[in-house]
Structure formats: structure tokens, C-alpha cells
Structure 1
Amino acid sequence: MSTNAPIVIDVISDVMCPWCFIGKRRLEKALMMLPESTVKVQWHPYQLDATLPKEGKDRKKYLEDKFGGPERAEQAYSHVRDAGAAEDIDFQFEAIKKSPNTIDSHRLIRWARSEGMQDAMVEELFKLYFTEGADLTDKQVLVDAAERAGLNSKLVSDLLDTDQDVKEVEADVFRAHEIGVTGVPFFVIDGRFAVAGAENPETLAAAIRHAEETKTGE
């Protein structure tokens, strides 16, 4: 195993994707299985529905359009609830009133990277949306979330009023499609190995271990 640079795990994800929240928990468990490993996790944007307007869409209408109604949505989400419960995630889908366009959330995550606070930012957004039903298109909700994650809330507030990094986020999403990502979460380990979906911790840990064992010296 190389003792040089850390193994980089690039996670392509969307904050309105429940399986991405589950995948985050499973990745955390995988890393706990590898206490001797040096790993760097980086989060990258994806949009499950880039057609959503900037102000979002009424959740009932969104479910009607996507699933044919809330009853069918609940059927689709029952497996997600069970998987979430196994990871100590208490999904509160009924509390969500608006399906958001997540471009601004992804901008926050991008800005958090330079501060070394990406994990905290991603965690905050997942919890807000899935356990509190927060409106991720509400500027104040995002500013408060950024502050709790450790970012400069005044700077974030000012930047959200601009188009700063909108095109960069959109370009990142496009690149994800270019490399063949059609669903999230999607894990790229050491730039060489891909794991699609919220795989169990053992599978993720094995992939990371394999990346370490096959990493060439630098």
C-alpha cells in the first residue's frame, strides 16, 4: 500500500436524492472499517431534475408528475424509509412542501470545499431537507445552513445574490453525464474505480482497500 497521497473519493450526488444521504452514511461506515487508511472525500454536483424552476415546485404537484400521485410516491419511498432507518436517518418525506432546484445548494457545497467544510455543508443540507422538510430554495435557509457548517454567512448571502459559480456547477453536472453517470450517488475512487449506487459499507471499504493496494508510488 502506498503511503503517499491520500486516496481521493469523489462523490457525485444531489441533495434532493435520499439514496445519496444513505450513501453518505454507508461511506462513513466504510471509512470506520479502514482506520489506517488516509482518505480525502470530495463532493461533486448532480441534478436529478435540472428542469425544476429556481423557486422550486410544489411537492404534491412534483409527486403527481413524477409518480402519478402521493400514494404511488409513498410506495416508491417505502424501501427508502427502511434503508434510511437502518442508517439512523429518520426520513420525513411528508414534511417536504417544495421540491427544490438544487443549484444554489451545490454552490454552497462548492464554496465549502475551499474551506475544508464540504462534509459539514453536505450533512447540513441533507438533514434540513430530509428530516425537517426545509425549503432549499429559501435564501435565508441556505445562509443559516452555511453558517452552521462554518462558512462566512455574510459572504454566502452576498454571493447567493449573484451568479457566482452557477455555470461552473452546471459544467460539473454536464461532466458527470459525460463520464456516464445516470444515477446517484456515484463514487469514483482514486480516479480509477467506480461504485454506482448506495452500496453497503463492506463493498465500499473493499473498493477503497483495492485502490490502496493497487496505487502506484508517486
Structure 2
Amino acid sequence: MLIETFADVICPWCYIGKHRLTRALRERPRLAPEVRWQAFQLNPDMPAGGMERSQYLANKFGGAERARQINTVIEETAERDGLPINLHRIRRTPNTFQAHRVIRMGNRRGIGGAVADALFHAYFVDGLDIGDRDTLAACGATAGLDFQEVKTALAGDAEVIGVQAADSLARQLGLQAVPCYIFNRRYALSGAQEPTSFLPLLDLAVSEGTDAAAE
């Protein structure tokens, strides 16, 4: 089974959603799906160096008070799910194009999910700037990539075309928000759904795969 996750590493609902998908998969221990990260940039026009976090939130949500209300909902949801989150530590909202490149490097070695986890932790728990090249290389190294290899790759054009193609595909599919999970390129589930919401699609994808193999 193939599960394609369209998501962005600065999206708190993607952070929560990834955790919930993992919990759902634990309910189906016999499954061994390929969970493939697909790049989606929430802010494709973000300056390369990112921008100051409070200004970004005020612009996005129409004011500081509304941003605080939304952050409270996010924090409460993460707490209920047992996920650490420290939004107050985040000082800059980065451009995530380079982060998606590192995840694709991980995908090629079967550790894309681990790279995404390292980036989520760096951003939402430690409040680090995951647009910074050294921070990206450190996250890659945490997941199993080579630190210097990641830095060298980011200095070139490795995975640039792949990230652009994935983001373009998402928009061609009509995705305007993430996370979105696509099962066997046939069924989609959008949003940070509860773990139980994944189970029917997991079962359906397995059933159809079994039926096709029997034909």
C-alpha cells in the first residue's frame, strides 16, 4: 500500500496529523505501507530568509489576537494527543523549500518520515529556524543522513526539480490546504483527522489490493 502525505513542516496540523496516522497504523500492525512524503509549500512566496513570526501570524490571521486564539487551539490539541509543542519558542517562519529538499534526500534512503519528524521537532519543540542550512543538515543527521553531505547538496541543486514537481502536482490536484493523505492514488483524506478516521481507508486499500492480486 502506498500512502502519499502532502504536507508542510511548518504546518502544526501536519505535525499533529503525522502523529495520528502513525497511531492509526499501529492499529493495523500487519500492514507495511510505504508512507511517502510529498512536498507542499504553504507559503510558496515566502522570502528565502523567512520572516519574523509574530508579523507572519498577524498577517495570516488578521491580527495578533486571532493568532493567539488559533495557537491556543493548536496547543490544546497537541496536549491531548501527547505531543510536545512550544509555539512560543518560534521566532521566525521560514521558507520551507530547502526543508522539503532534505526530506526528499531522506525519501531516497527510506527515511523521509524520520527526516520530517526531526524537522517537526526542531521547529515545533525547539523553535529552531528550519530554513537555516546548518539546522537542516543537523536535522538530516538526526534522522540518519550525513551532515556534510546534506550541506553540500543544499549548496547545489539536488532535489530542486523534485520538490517543484511535487508541489505543482498538489496544486493540480486542487489541494489548497494540508495535510492530505492519498491512499494508493485513489482515495484521499484531508486534515488532521482522528486516528479512527484512517482505518476505513486503510482497510479499503488493503482489500482492493488483495482482490487485484487474486485476479
TM-score normalised by the chain length of structure 2: 0.95
What whole-Å deviation, never above 9, does each CA across 1:79-100 have from its counterpart, x for those lacking one?
A: 2112111221222111110000
Residue equivalent to 2:46:
52
Cα offset, 1:167, TM superposition: 3.0
- The aligned residue for residue 40 of structure 1 is 34
Letter in 1 for 2:95: N
The answer on 1:120 being equivalent to 2:114 is: yes
Contact 1:60-1:69 within 8 A present in 2 as well: no
Q: How far apart are 1:28 and its partner, in Å?
A: 0.6
Which residue does the alignment assign to 1:203?
A: 197
- SS of residue paired to 2:130: coil
1:151 aligns with 2:156: no
Question: Cα deviation per residue 1:145-187 (whole Å; 9 max; x = unaligned)?
Answer: 1111100111111111123222321221011010111110000
C-alpha distance in 2, partners of 1:174/1:197? 19
1:217 equivalent to 2:213? Answer: yes
Alignment partner, residue 4 of structure 1:
none
Identity %: 33
The question of 1:101 aligning with 2:95 is answered: yes
How big is the shift at 1:105? 0.4
* Cα displacement (A) at 1:26: 0.5
Selected match of 2:15 from 5, 18, 21: 21
CA distance in 2, matches of 1:93, 1:68: 18
Tell me, what secondary structure is at the counterpart of 2:4? strand
**Pair 1:132 & 2:126 matched:** yes
Secondary structure class of the residue paired with 2:43: coil
Alpha-carbon distance in structure 2 between the residues aligned to 1:166 and 1:22: 27
From 59, 64, 67, the counterpart of 2:61: 67
Q: 3-state DSSP class of the match of 1:112?
A: helix
5 Å-filtered alignment, 1:162-173, equals 162-173=156-167
Q: How does 1:73-92 map to 2 (within 5 A)?
A: 73-92=67-86
- CA distance in structure 2 between the aligned counterparts of 1:217 and 1:105, rounded to whole angstroms: 37
Task: Name the CA distance, whole Å, in 2 between partners of 1:164 and 1:37.
Answer: 32
Q: Per-residue displacement from partner, 1:169-206 (whole Å, max 9, x unpaired)?
A: 12210110101111100000111110011111111022
Q: Tell me by how many angstroms 1:38 deviates.
A: 2.3
Opposite residue 137 of structure 1, the aligned amino acid is G
Q: Secondary structure at the match of 1:145?
A: helix
Alpha-carbon offset, residue 139 of structure 1: 1.0
Name the SS for the 1:217 alignment partner.
helix
Q: TM-score, normalised by structure 1?
A: 0.93
CA distance in 2, matches of 1:176, 1:59: 26
> In 2, Cα distance between the equivalents of 1:50 and 1:168?
15
Tell me the matched-pair count. Answer: 212
